[in-house]
Chain A
């Protein structure tokens, strides 16, 4: 099971830029918008999802030869739900305040399309190590997307980052940013920015080679 290093690195970075779950594939949106009212909440959710992604894909990959095709989706869901339950209790044990802040969305990780999609598309067809590396990349990309959203919403909507005030007492927070509409607007804005970057890179590539 020896993987060449460049290939492993590409497996990992695939989920960060080219197939970023938040900005490119636009999957798993529910927790992204609900939880990203502050940078710390967003990061915690990202880490929780990363953990579930890596563990589920690892287990699915280990069992990939024995899972019957007809019931594979049900089995994947059960495996994902198992790790989500574990993460749920782990967060309660670490910090009740964080648990209250994230609320029901921890348990909603189980219906995050990214995890099921990765399990079905990748983990079921690859050995454990590449599967987990790819899953880790996706998880990191997801966390980056979440953090970008959470940071902007917190800075604009509360004037703080990680709870540390940035603008001093005279700052009038743009409260709508930490409310539901703000979530939609900020994500839409990020998608525009990302599309613009992607287009500029593509036109840059086309003029550069071939």
Chain B
């Protein structure tokens, strides 16, 4: 694949945003994006896990391909991701207990975040090399954080608006997400 690192980063951040274009990571996107102060750290934590998962997935893929054990790919990826999340949890608990408590139940939920596993699976199916994989993971995490922060900002504003009661909650978030997604479509072709 002849995509340059810059192209991959820009594309994954904007035109092929993991949340708004590829529909990955929607559970936390709809769940954690209520407040800006929790949205941003959540995005950062997820980006870190994505990076670790991407590196491990790259290595695992080399190992499994060498032994023709491709059918173990999914299981090994998901176990690695679960372990990476455990690691992040322990580190946060020790060095930033306030953040740990603020993120609460959503931190272990990074394990079931489609975006993290999605990054690992996509980089494998597109056969990215090492640099491309790392850039893809960082771009993906940045795009996820961007979408989360945008959503949180808008939702915070909406709390003071007059929304019909029937639409409150997830229906509203989805309509918002649709508009965000529509606007991000304008970035198509930016990465060249």
Instruction: List the interface of chain A (C-beta within 8 A of B).
Output: 26-31, 33-34, 73-74, 77-78, 81-82, 84-85, 88-89, 104, 107-108, 110-113, 116, 176, 179-185, 187-189, 191-192, 195-196, 199
- Chain B window 168-183, contacts with chain A (Cβ cutoff 8 Å), 1 for yes, 0 for no: 0011111101110110
Q: List 18 A-B contacts (CB under 8 A).
A: A26-B30, A26-B170, A29-B23, A30-B25, A78-B78, A84-B74, A104-B125, A107-B74, A108-B117, A110-B74, A111-B78, A111-B114, A180-B22, A180-B185, A181-B179, A184-B175, A185-B175, A195-B167
List of B residues within 8 angstroms of A84 by Cβ = 74
Instruction: Please determine whether A78 and B27 come into contact, CB atoms closer than 8 angstroms.
Output: no
Instruction: Please determine whether B78 and A81 come into contact, CB atoms closer than 8 angstroms.
Output: yes
User: Quick one: which of B22, B71, B112, B178 contacts A34, CB cutoff 8 A?
Assistant: B22
List of B residues within 8 angstroms of A110 by Cβ = 74, 78, 117
In the bound complex, what is the Cα–Cα distance between A108 and B78 (angstroms)?
10
List of B residues within 8 angstroms of A104 by Cβ = 118, 121-122, 125
In the bound complex, what is the Cα–Cα distance between A188 and B75 (angstroms)?
33
Instruction: Please determine whether A29 and B30 come into contact, CB atoms closer than 8 angstroms.
Output: yes
In the bound complex, what is the Cα–Cα distance between A124 and B160 (angstroms)?
43
List of A residues within 8 angstroms of B172 by Cβ = 188
B148 is an interface residue with CB less than 8 A from chain A: no
List of B residues within 8 angstroms of A182 by Cβ = 178
- Chain B window 153-192, contacts with chain A (Cβ cutoff 8 Å), 1 for yes, 0 for no: 0000000000000110011111101110110010000000
Chain B contact residue count (CB 8 A cutoff)? 39
Distance between A199 CB and nearest chain B CB, rounded to angstroms: 7
Instruction: Please determine whether A27 and B74 come into contact, CB atoms closer than 8 angstroms.
Output: no
Distance between B61 CB and nearest chain A CB, rounded to angstroms: 13
Instruction: Please determine whether B178 and A30 come into contact, CB atoms closer than 8 angstroms.
Output: no
Instruction: Please determine whether B27 and A29 come into contact, CB atoms closer than 8 angstroms.
Output: yes
List of A residues within 8 angstroms of B179 by Cβ = 181
In the bound complex, what is the Cα–Cα distance between A99 and B111 (angstroms)?
25
- A185 and B174 contact, Cβ closer than 8 Å, known pairs A30-B24, A104-B118, A108-B117: yes
Instruction: Please determine whether A188 and B74 come into contact, CB atoms closer than 8 angstroms.
Output: no
User: Quick one: which of A31, A74, A196 contacts B166, CB cutoff 8 A?
Assistant: A196
Instruction: Please determine whether A111 and B166 come into contact, CB atoms closer than 8 angstroms.
Output: no
Instruction: Please determine whether A116 and B178 come into contact, CB atoms closer than 8 angstroms.
Output: no
In the bound complex, what is the Cα–Cα distance between A184 and B22 (angstroms)?
12
User: Quick one: which of B109, B178, B185 contacts A185, CB cutoff 8 A?
Assistant: B178
In the bound complex, what is the Cα–Cα distance between A179 and B186 (angstroms)?
13
Instruction: Please determine whether A85 and B75 come into contact, CB atoms closer than 8 angstroms.
Output: yes
List of A residues within 8 angstroms of B20 by Cβ = 180
B12 is an interface residue with CB less than 8 A from chain A: no
Instruction: Please determine whether A73 and B82 come into contact, CB atoms closer than 8 angstroms.
Output: yes
B26 is an interface residue with CB less than 8 A from chain A: yes
